Structure 1
Amino acid sequence: MYVQRDSQAKIVCVSREPTSMCDEFMAADDSELLFFLSDGKAQADVSQFQASDLAFVRVLEDVLDLLMDKGVISFMDLPDAARNKIMERQSLRRRYNDVNLVGDDDDLI
């Protein structure tokens, strides 16, 4: 995302593409950008939405595992990018769980 700032360095405009007015690149998950896009709602609201996204990702992982276990889909049926992300996520979960960084609840990762 590309942003335009006012004289107080606050974001006043956002664009998906660079323009003459919006020329500063900002990551889409930047907290300042998320705050601007949330119309100034409290950061707690944005954080709650992000936490919901993370929990939903875990649900999708579980659904994928279930579908593969039941033979509805095959891991190899998935696009390369999806397979890579799944394997990366599984590797991260194993690594964190092996060193017990998250305690007994692996739903956190």
Structure 2
Amino acid sequence: MIYIERNVNGDIQNIEFAPGPNLEEISMHDPKLKEFIEHAPNSEEIIQMVLNRLDLDMVRVIEDVIDIMIDKNLMLFTDLPDPVQNKILFKKTIRNLSNNTSILEEEELINF
């Protein structure tokens, strides 16, 4: 999710990726968010920050897709190259330490 901070005129002045004081949740599809990113003085920096965050989230999505494919017998875990298997197993071990097992949270589901 993306959270925004507004100035006294109600315009977006900052974006964050976690809730906090004086922040409100905004849809990633909101045209005002796109407008803010395009016209901000540090637009390129903001674009890179957003892309980096989305890339991290996509890694979790891909891991979940791999799990689904394995659960549905569409692929075997051993079909993956050894280095990939090792990374996935290590990440699952570390992630289980924090009990954070899936990227998909109810409020993040997109309805089409």
TM-score by length of 2: 0.49
State the Cα deviation string for residues 53-76 of structure 1 (Å, max 9, x = none).
Answer: 011111101110011001111111
- CA RMSD, aligned part only? 2.3
Paired residue for 1:60?
Answer: 62
Paired residue for 1:107?
Answer: 103
Paired residue for 2:74?
Answer: 72
For 2:51, which of 36, 49, 62 is the aligned residue? 49
Q: Which amino acid in the other structure matches residue 86 of structure 1?
A: I
4+ aligned runs moved over 4 Å, structure 1: none
For 1:85, which of 65, 87, 107 is the aligned residue? 87
Shift of 1:41: 4.6
Identity of aligned residues (%): 35
- State the number of aligned residues: 63
Larger Rg: 1
Cα distance in structure 2, aligned partners of 1:71 and 1:48: 34
Structure 2 unaligned regions, length at least 5 = 1-41, 105-112
Q: Which amino acid in the other structure matches residue 56 of structure 1?
A: M
Structure 1 unaligned regions, length at least 5 = 1-39
Shift of 1:45: 1.7
Shift of 1:80: 0.3
